[in-house]
A and B are shown apart, each in its own frame.
Chain A
Amino acid sequence: KQEVTQIPAALSVPEGENLVLNCSFTDSAIYNLQWFRQDPGKGLTSLLLIQSSQREQTSGRLNASLDKSSGRSTLYIAASQPGDSATYLCAVSLDSNYQLIWGAGTKLIIKP
């Protein structure tokens, strides 16, 4: 059974620092991996989607990597800003159906 884990559950860093969020999954046979952002009391916003054949994806200050063999993905945020404060969730898709297996998220606080 696929399980997705995000450690730590919470992270606080000063503004301007580069940081890495971690996601691990137990079954390497994934279809894709996605990173989402969730602001308090809101829905989820898709940040990056990495297909199983890809190693990384980039969008602005965000870079997500995927290592299927080790069951790990990282989300790198460069030059963090207070506006980056949110909960970041990763999710894996096992096949071409539509279901996602979710991590519980990392709550990120960027201190001004």
Chain B
Amino acid sequence: DAMVIQNPRYQVTQFGKPVTLSCSQTLNHNVMYWYQQKSSQAPKLLFHYYDKDFNNEADTPDNFQSRRPNTSFCFLDIRSPGLGDAAMYLCATSTLNSNQPQHFGDGTRLSIL
């Protein structure tokens, strides 16, 4: 039944070692989002895709990159993770109708050693 699937649920990486988080969806939604959420804080939008049209938030660090090879999949690449990048990373999808809610995956919790 899971409609937005994030893998892995937990990821541990070393300081400076590149890591990739993945997200897939079965909803065929046009829009996909990546959020970063730290403890007891609101989600922070990193990027969103309207189909393959990539939209980067102004304050998203260059260390974060994203790829969307097709409608179903989206990846978040962190090129050189620092300790401050430890967080929950949430993927979400939506239709083009802004009066429909976003659908979230269960997130990937990233730890940096």
Contact = CB atoms under 8 A, between A and B. Distances in A.
Question: Which residue, of A42, A89, A93, has the highest number of chain B Cβ atoms within 10 A?
Answer: A42
A42 B106 contact: yes
Contacts of A28: none
Interface stretch (A12-20, A63-71, A75-83, A94-102): A94-102
A32 B99 contact: yes
A98 B50 contact: yes
Nearest to B4: A43
Contacts of B48: 98-99
Contacts of B94: 98
A112 interface: no
Contacts of B104: 43-45
A99 B45 contact: yes
Contact of B98 (A46, A96, A107): A96
Nearest to B100: A49
Nearest to A87: B40
Nearest to A47: B101
B42 A93 contact: no
Interface of B: 4, 6, 31, 33, 40-43, 45, 48, 50, 88, 90, 92, 94, 98-107, 109
Shortest 10 CB-CB contacts between residues of A and residues of B: A46-B101, A43-B104, A102-B42, A44-B104, A43-B106, A96-B98, A104-B42, A43-B107, A42-B106, A43-B105
Interface of A: 4, 9, 31-32, 34, 36, 41-46, 49, 51, 89, 93, 95-100, 102-105, 107
27 contacts: A4-B42, A31-B98, A41-B107, A41-B109, A42-B107, A43-B4, A43-B6, A43-B90, A43-B104, A43-B105, A43-B107, A44-B92, A44-B104, A46-B101, A46-B102, A89-B42, A89-B43, A93-B98, A95-B98, A96-B98, A98-B31, A98-B33, A98-B48, A99-B48, A103-B42, A104-B40, A105-B42
